[in-house]
């Protein structure tokens, strides 16, 4: 039986529109987040692969992608449209997607539920990835959590687009949802 050989690690950049970082709040700029991820990966390079994070509304987002891949060696992008409070179909987001496609970087999107009250669930619905995948056919898109609780919607998008994938993370503690995720994968033939 094989074990896990490597894991992807990442942080989530905060929304730059909410202010500047200080010791008393939860603001976490992309530059700090990516430096921390890279330091963690450097400590355990045989176990971890690092993904960078940016916020599409950050005016330095595209430059940070270049820095985080070139200087820090991070190999993909993690975005959480609902947690980061951005529209995944907005022009700022599309600029980030275009740069990722140019550089051959996969994007891992948080897709699915959130207990966080301010996190707009609509921004994390898998149906948005249909339009993203159509606009960026060479962008590798990974939908986290197989879109829980919208597993079927996630499978429909995967079946339609050869550049879209999903992971099953954070489903294990919801046995019925986990079962239904596997059922949807089987029914929609997206192994």
Residues 25-77 pLDDT 10s: 567 889 999 999 999 999 999 999 999 999 999 999 999 999 999 999 999 99
Give the total residue count for the chain.
191
Q: Residue 152 falls within a domain, yes or no?
A: yes
* Counted domains in the chain: 1
Residues 178 and 65: their CA atoms lie apart, in Å, by 33
The reply to whether 8 falls in a domain is: no
Cis check for the bond before 19: say yes or no (omega within 30 of 0): no
List the domain range (segments joined by +) for residue 103.
78-110+126-191
Task: Identify the sign of the CA torsion 143, 138, 129, 79.
Answer: positive
Q: Is 21 a residue whose pLDDT tops 70?
A: no
Smallest CA-to-CA distance from 13 within 45, 151, 67, 134 is with 67
pLDDT at 156: 93
Please report whether residue 154 resides in a domain: yes
Selection from 185, 79, 83, 187 nearest residue 141 by Cα: 79
pLDDT confidence band for 188 (50 / 70 / 90): confident
pLDDT of residue 135 exceeding 70:
yes
Whether 182 is covered by a domain: the verdict is yes
53 located within any domain = no
In a domain, 24, yes or no: no
**Does a structural domain hold residue 18?**
no
Helix, strand or coil for residue 151? helix
Within-domain flag for 176: yes
Grade residue 20 by pLDDT with cuts at 50, 70 and 90: low
pLDDT value of position 28? 81
**pLDDT cut 70: percent of the chain above it:** 95
How far does CA 171 lie from the centroid of its chain?
A: 16
Give the residue among 144, 72, 143, 69 at the shortest CA–CA distance from 103. 69
- Residue that has been written with the tokens 């879209």 in this structure: 164
- Which distant-in-sequence residues (6+ apart) come within 8 Å of 139 by Cβ? 97, 100, 101, 106, 107, 132, 133, 163
With a cut of 90, say whether residue 189 has pLDDT above it.
no
Is residue 191 scored above 80 in pLDDT?
Answer: no
In angstroms, the CA 30 to CA 65 distance is: 9
% of residues, the chain, pLDDT over 90:
68
If you average pLDDT over residues 22-27, what whole number do you get? 58
Whichever domain contains 146, its CATH number is: 3.20.20.140
The yes-or-no verdict on residue 12 having pLDDT over 60 is yes
Q: What is the mean pLDDT of the chain?
A: 91
């Amino acid at each position: 039986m094989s074990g896990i050989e490597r894991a992807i690690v990442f942080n989530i950049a905060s929304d730059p529109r909410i202010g500047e970082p200080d010791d008393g709040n939860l603001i976490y700029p992309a530059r700090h987040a990516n430096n921390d991820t890279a330091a963690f990966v450097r400590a355990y390079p045989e176990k971890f692969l690092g993904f960078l994070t940016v916020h599409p509304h950050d005016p330095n987002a595209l430059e940070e992608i270049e820095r985080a891949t070139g200087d820090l060696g991070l190999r993909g992008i993690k975005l959480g449209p609902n947690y980061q409070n951005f529209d995944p179909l907005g022009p700022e987001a599309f600029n980030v997607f275009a740069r990722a496609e140019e550089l051959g970087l996969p994007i891992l999107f948080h897709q699915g539920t959130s207990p966080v009250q301010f996190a707009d669930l609509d921004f994390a619905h898998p149906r948005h990835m249909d339009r993203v995948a159509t606009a960026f056919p060479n962008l590798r898109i990974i939908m986290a959590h197989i879109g829980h609780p919208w597993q079927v919607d996630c499978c429909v998008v995967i079946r339609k687009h050869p550049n879209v994938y999903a992971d099953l993370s954070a489903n294990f503690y919801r046995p019925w949802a986990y079962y239904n995720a596997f059922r949807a994968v089987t029914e929609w033939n997206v192994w």
